[in-house]
Amino acid sequence: MAGRIAFLGPTGTYTEEAALLYDPHAELQPFPSIPAVGSAVSSGITEEGVVPIENSLEGSVNFTLDLLISQPDLSVCNEVVVPIEHYMFALPGVKPADVRVIYSHPQALAQCKEYLERCFPGAQQMASLSTVAAVSDMKLSSVPAASISPRRAGELNPDVEIIGRGIQDNANNVTRFVVLAAQDHEPTGRDKTSVCFSFQENDSSGLLYQALGEFARRDINLMKIESRPTKENLGEYIFLVDCAGHRQDANVSEVLDSLSAQCRMLRVFGSYPIWRPDGV
């Protein structure tokens, strides 16, 4: 565990909750953006950093994927999975029927869309920089307002009241966070490896099929696969894969060697333990 951990702030976010769950004894330092967290780790300001990478409802966090693709000095050394429970806060005396504006981060608003349409059809939805900043935006509003924020945001703002809890549309709303460091994790026997790769010419037939076949021939389970634009030419993509196993395992090492020969670019983000909420 690290002495200092950067996280996507401000204090009170779900990312801070993930950092506390990962290491409750570390010195946590909030940073304003995902690239800033990456810079804090790569420059040595902190030993590790925690950023969101995937939500079960809204999909991947592209800022984190792009950071990993572009920063070869960063590795993924661990992951944390946090159930997301959204709360609605308001100033004392404000009833749900009074609310005219609801503030939150766009992802939180999207994750509560059905609830808001059902219970607050006439309220205007306003984007905030974070689910924690939404509380400040709500308190500064000139009309009766509410915020959708984590429970901890309410703890940090004792002058607000809970007017709704567990308001997310899907009870299976969870976010996966990754822990960034200079090096990845040693083998534990229950690991996953994250990589990305691209081809010289993406329009050649069978390139992706051949690459994925390297995993299939060695009976390696693919836990996730997606693509991101290379940002160089239209129609060219970088493919991102999470697979079972550690990069030091013989079969995973063989796949990486084969991909290196086939691909224009191969980057191993890191091997790390699969998250177990019980810590076992």
Note the pLDDT tens digit of each residue in 198-231.
987 655 678 889 999 999 999 999 999 999 998 8
Amino acid at 197: F
Sheet hosting strand 265-273, strand order edge to edge = 222-229, 237-244, 191-198, 265-273
Q: Out of 31, 175, 199, 239, pick the active-site residue.
A: 175
As a whole number of angstroms, the distance between CA 26 and CA 46 comes to 10
Q: Mapping DSSP to helix (H, G, I), strand (E, B) and coil, where does residue 259 land? A: helix
The DSSP element (H or E) to which 58 belongs, if any, is: none
SS3 of the chain: helix, strand, coil, percent, to 5: 30, 35, 40
Q: Out of 7, 89, 177, 197, pick the active-site residue.
A: 177
Query: Which residue stretches of the chain have pLDDT < 70?
Result: 1-2, 201-204, 278-280
State yes or no: is 239 an active-site residue.
no
State yes or no: is 177 an active-site residue.
yes
Q: Contact, 259 vs 197, CB < 8 A?
A: yes
Domains of the chain, with CATH numbers? 1-83+173-183 (3.40.190.10), 87-165 (3.40.190.10), 185-280 (3.30.70.260)
Query: What does the pLDDT read at residue 171?
Result: 84
Tell me 274's DSSP state.
P
Q: Contact, 245 vs 251, CB < 8 A?
A: yes
As a whole number of angstroms, the distance between CA 107 and CA 143 comes to 23
For the record, the structure tokens of 169 come out as 């549309």
Query: What does the pLDDT read at residue 201?
Result: 65
As a whole number of angstroms, the distance between CA 143 and CA 102 comes to 10
Query: What does the pLDDT read at residue 183?
Result: 96
